[in-house]
Chains A and B, each alone.
Chain A
Amino acid sequence: MQKSWTRRLNLIAIIGTLPMILVAVGVFVIGVGFSVLWSFTSSKLFPSYDFVGLAQYRRLWSDGRWLISVDNIWLFGLLSIGFNMVFGYLLAVFMDQRIRNEDLFRSVFLYPFAMSLIVTGLVWQWALDPNLGLQQAMRNFGWQGFSFAPLVDSRTALYGLVVASIWQGSGVTMAILLAGLRGVDEEIWKAARVDGIPAWRTHLFIVAPMMKGAFATAFVLQCVSVVRVYDLVIAMTGGGPGIATTMPAVYVIQLITVRQNVGQGMAAATMMLLPILVVIAAMGLLRWRRSRAGRVAA
Chain B
Amino acid sequence: MTAAATFSVRPATSAGAEPRGPKPRRLSIGRFGVYAFLVVSALFFLVPLYIMVVTSLKGMPEIRLGHLFNLPAEVTFQPWVDAWLHACTGRDCNGLSPGFLNSVKITVPSVVISIVCASINGYALSFWPYKGANLLFGLLVFGAFVPYQVVIYPLIIGLSSVGLFATLPGIIIVHTIFGMPILTLLFRNFYAALPVELFKAARVDGAGFWRVFFHIMLPMSVPVTIVAVILQVTGIWNDFLFGVVFAGRSNWPMTVQLNNIVNTTTGVREYNVNMAATILTAAVPLAIYFISGRWFVRGITAGSVKG
Q: In the complex, are the beta carbons of A96 and B21 less than 8 A apart?
A: yes
Q: How far is the CA of A268 from the CA of B44 in the complex (A)?
A: 36
Chain A nearest Cβ from B92, distance in angstroms: 19
Q: In the complex, are the beta carbons of A262 and B153 less than 8 A apart?
A: yes
Chain B nearest Cβ from A274, distance in angstroms: 10
Return the chain A residue nearest B306 by Cβ.
A217
| Given A131-B66, A179-B3; 7 other pairs, CB 8 A cutoff | A12-B128, A115-B282, A116-B238, A118-B255, A118-B258, A182-B7, A279-B145
Q: Which chain B positions have C-beta within 8 A of A54?
A: none
Return the chain A residue nearest B121 by Cβ.
A20
Using known A-B contacts A28-B142, A235-B259, determine if residue A97 contacts B149 with beta carbons closer than 8 Å.
Answer: no
Q: Which chain A positions have C-beta within 8 A of B104?
A: none
Q: How far is the CA of A32 from the CA of B42 in the complex (A)?
A: 42
Q: Which residues of A contact B (CB under 8 A)?
A: 9-10, 12-14, 16-17, 19-21, 23-32, 34-35, 38, 47, 87, 90-91, 93-99, 103, 105-119, 122-127, 129, 131-134, 136-137, 139-140, 167, 171-172, 175-176, 178-179, 182-183, 186, 189-190, 199, 217, 220-221, 224, 227-228, 230-231, 234-235, 238, 248-249, 252-253, 256-257, 262, 265-266, 268-270, 272-273, 276, 279-280
Q: Which chain B positions have C-beta within 8 A of A125?
A: 262
Q: In the complex, are the beta carbons of A234 and B240 less than 8 A apart?
A: yes
Q: Which chain B positions have C-beta within 8 A of A127?
A: 47-48, 51, 68
B154 partner, pick from A10, A35, A234, beta carbons under 8 A: A35
Q: In the complex, are the beta carbons of A136 and B149 less than 8 A apart?
A: no
Chain A nearest Cβ from B260, distance in angstroms: 10
Return the chain B residue nearest A115 by Cβ.
B282
Q: In the complex, are the beta carbons of A13 and B124 less than 8 A apart?
A: yes
Chain A nearest Cβ from B153, distance in angstroms: 5
Using known A-B contacts A10-B130, A272-B149, determine if residue A111 contacts B289 with beta carbons closer than 8 Å.
Answer: yes
Q: How far is the CA of A117 from the CA of B14 in the complex (A)?
A: 38
Complex interface: stretch among B79-87, B176-184, B221-229:
B176-184
B120 partner, pick from A16, A109, A175, beta carbons under 8 A: A16
Interface of B is mostly: helix
Contact with A along B43-81 (1 / 0, CB 8 A): 011111101100100000001111111000000000000
Q: Which chain A positions have C-beta within 8 A of B154?
A: 27, 30-32, 34-35
Q: Which chain B positions have C-beta within 8 A of A109?
A: 41-42, 45
Q: Which chain A positions have C-beta within 8 A of B143?
A: 23-24, 27-28
A132 partner, pick from B63, B184, B255, beta carbons under 8 A: B63
Q: Which chain A positions have C-beta within 8 A of B201?
A: none
CB<8 Å pairs between A and B, sample of 28? A10-B131, A16-B209, A20-B121, A25-B136, A27-B154, A31-B155, A91-B38, A91-B41, A94-B38, A97-B22, A105-B38, A105-B42, A107-B289, A107-B293, A116-B237, A117-B240, A122-B258, A126-B55, A131-B66, A175-B297, A179-B301, A186-B18, A199-B21, A217-B304, A221-B304, A230-B241, A238-B263, A273-B147
Q: Which chain B positions have C-beta within 8 A of A273?
A: 146-147, 150
Q: In the complex, are the beta carbons of B157 and A47 less than 8 A apart?
A: yes
Q: Which residues of B contact A (CB under 8 A)?
A: 2-3, 6-7, 10, 14, 18-22, 24, 34-35, 37-38, 41-42, 44-49, 51-52, 55, 63-69, 117, 120-121, 123-125, 128, 130-131, 133, 136-137, 139-140, 142-158, 176-177, 180, 184, 208-210, 234, 237-241, 245, 255, 258-259, 262-263, 271, 274-275, 278, 281-282, 285-286, 288-290, 293, 296-297, 300-301, 304-306
Chain A nearest Cβ from B267, distance in angstroms: 17
Q: How far is the CA of A45 from the CA of B275 in the complex (A)?
A: 37
Q: Which chain A positions have C-beta within 8 A of B142?
A: 28, 280
A12 partner, pick from B42, B51, B208, beta carbons under 8 A: B208
Q: How far is the CA of A112 from the CA of B56 in the complex (A)?
A: 18
Chain A nearest Cβ from B305, distance in angstroms: 7
Return the chain B residue nearest A131 by Cβ.
B66
Q: How far is the CA of A21 from the CA of B49 in the complex (A)?
A: 43
A116 partner, pick from B48, B131, B255, B275, beta carbons under 8 A: B255
